[in-house]
Amino acid sequence: MITAPTQAAIRSDLFPDTSHSPSLAELVGYERAADIIDFCFIANPYYPTPEMIETLAAGLPTLIKSYPSSNHATTERVLAEVLGVDAGDLIVGNGATELIVLINEVLVDRIGVPVPTFGEYIEKLRDPAGAELFTLHGGCDYRLDLAEYLAWAREGGLKALLVINPGNPTGQLHSLDEMVEFLEQAADMDLVIVDESFIDFATDPVPSVLPLAGRFRNLLIVRSMSKHYGVPGLRLGFCYSRNRDMIARLRAMLPTWHLNILAEYFLTLLPATTVAYRESLARVTRDVERLHEDLSTIPGLFVYPTGSNFVLFRTENGPTAGELQARLLTEHLMYVRDCSNKVGMDDRHVRVASQGRESDARLVEALRGVMAEARPGR
The pLDDT score that the predictor gives to residue 27 is 85
Angstrom CA distances, 97 to 173, 195, 216, 224, 255, stand at 21, 11, 23, 8, 14
| 39 Cβ neighbours under 8 A, 6+ residues apart | 334, 335, 336, 337, 352, 353, 355, 359, 363
- Cα gap 45→299, rounded to integer Å: 28
Is the distance from CB of 142 to CB of 284 less than 8 angstroms? no
Confidence of residue 25 (pLDDT cuts 50, 70, 90): confident
Task: Give residue 8's pLDDT band: very low, low, confident or very high (50, 70, 90).
Answer: very low
Span 13-27, average pLDDT? 72
Which residues does 284 contact at the CB level (< 8 Å), separation at least 6?
44, 45, 46, 201, 309, 354
Buried b or exposed e, range 81-94, using 16+ CB within 10 angstroms: eebebebebbbbbb
Q: Looking at the domain that runs over 50-272, which CATH code has it been given? A: 3.40.640.10
Q: What is the pLDDT of residue 17?
A: 61
Distance (Å, whole) CA 10 – CA 334: 13
Tens-digit pLDDT profile for residues 127-142: 888 999 999 998 899 9
315-353: per-residue pLDDT in tens?
998 899 999 999 999 999 999 999 998 988 999 999 999
Helices (H), 67-206: 72-83, 96-106, 120-123, 146-155, 176-185
What is the residue-averaged pLDDT of the chain? Answer: 92
- For domain 7-48+275-374, give the CATH number: 3.90.1150.10
Instruction: Provide the residue ranges of all domains of the chain, joining segments of one domain with +.
Output: 7-48+275-374, 50-272
Give 31's contacts (C-beta < 8 A, 6+ positions apart): none
